[in-house]
Amino acid sequence: MDQNSGIQNIWLILVIWSFIYVLDYALTIVFARQHKAHLHTYVRFEGSLELTPQFQKDVDVLRRVSPQFVMRWLISVVGLYAIWWLSVVSLKQPQFFYFLIGMLVLREVTVHLRHIRNLALYPIAKAGGLKGKIEYSRWSALKLSAVELLSFGGMYLILAIFLRSWFMAGGAFGCCVVGVQHWRMYKKALALSQTSQESLATPDTQAKESDNADQLDR
């Protein structure tokens, strides 16, 4: 059997991709509902649960159908079809399509693993398995996400080298791109947090210096 026969049916590929992509948003909403209902007692997040800025408002209000999400889904479907036609049908170079589909699918696989881990917290919390309380600052959540994505990107890269796989190479590229984006967001959020803490500490410092000056005058 031709190893490229699996990518000839573009409609099946688009259906599978759409299912994976829609499931990402659906699982995000499920976890957001669980967090709002019970998990917030044990785990708190600064700001939104959603790390992607474009989806934060929709996730915060638990909107089942996000206009931003639908628009991005449509763009991804059109883009996939265009790259498939160009690389597989026109240029007869399917490796470009393998790279693209790997970039999209393996990035989503990484995110889905995060969803599964998050969803597992709900029954654990309901059974009394969580004690105490933890709060993630915005920058810490972004840093953890960046480290996770870059780690998976490194793993996919190693597999791509050993397997000589364009699909794995695409996954490595996709995870690393988003990982770098989250790392930059983490650095900005950390700088903003530090600036905020310094501004809050300044009045207290000035007050202490004023008290010390009064004591010296006496």
Q: Is the distance from CB of 77 to CB of 168 less than 8 angstroms?
A: no
In whole angstroms, give the CA distance from residue 30 to residue 36: 10
In whole angstroms, give the CA distance from residue 18 to residue 77: 8
Q: Is the distance from CB of 103 to CB of 170 less than 8 angstroms?
A: yes
pLDDT reading at 196 higher than 50: yes
For 30-77, how does the pLDDT look when each residue is reduced to its tens digit (9 = 90+)? 999 999 998 999 999 998 999 999 999 999 999 999 999 999 999 999
Q: Is the distance from CB of 169 to CB of 154 less than 8 angstroms?
A: no
Q: What percent of the chain has pLDDT over 70?
A: 89
For 170-191, how does the pLDDT look when each residue is reduced to its tens digit (9 = 90+)? 999 999 999 999 999 999 999 9
CA angle 82/86/89 to nearest 5° reads: 115
In whole angstroms, give the CA distance from residue 154 to residue 108: 16
For 64-102, how does the pLDDT look when each residue is reduced to its tens digit (9 = 90+)? 999 999 999 999 999 999 999 999 999 999 999 999 999
**Residue-level pLDDT at 135:** 92
For 120-157, how does the pLDDT look when each residue is reduced to its tens digit (9 = 90+)? 999 998 898 989 999 999 999 999 999 999 999 999 99
Mean model confidence pLDDT for the chain: 89
Beta strands in 116-172 (DSSP E): 134-136
pTM of the predicted structure, to 2 decimals: 0.86
Residue 122 corresponds to which tokens in the numbers above?
């709900």
Q: Is the distance from CB of 84 to CB of 97 less than 8 angstroms?
A: yes
Q: Is the distance from CB of 81 to CB of 14 less than 8 angstroms?
A: yes
Q: Is the distance from CB of 183 to CB of 150 less than 8 angstroms?
A: yes
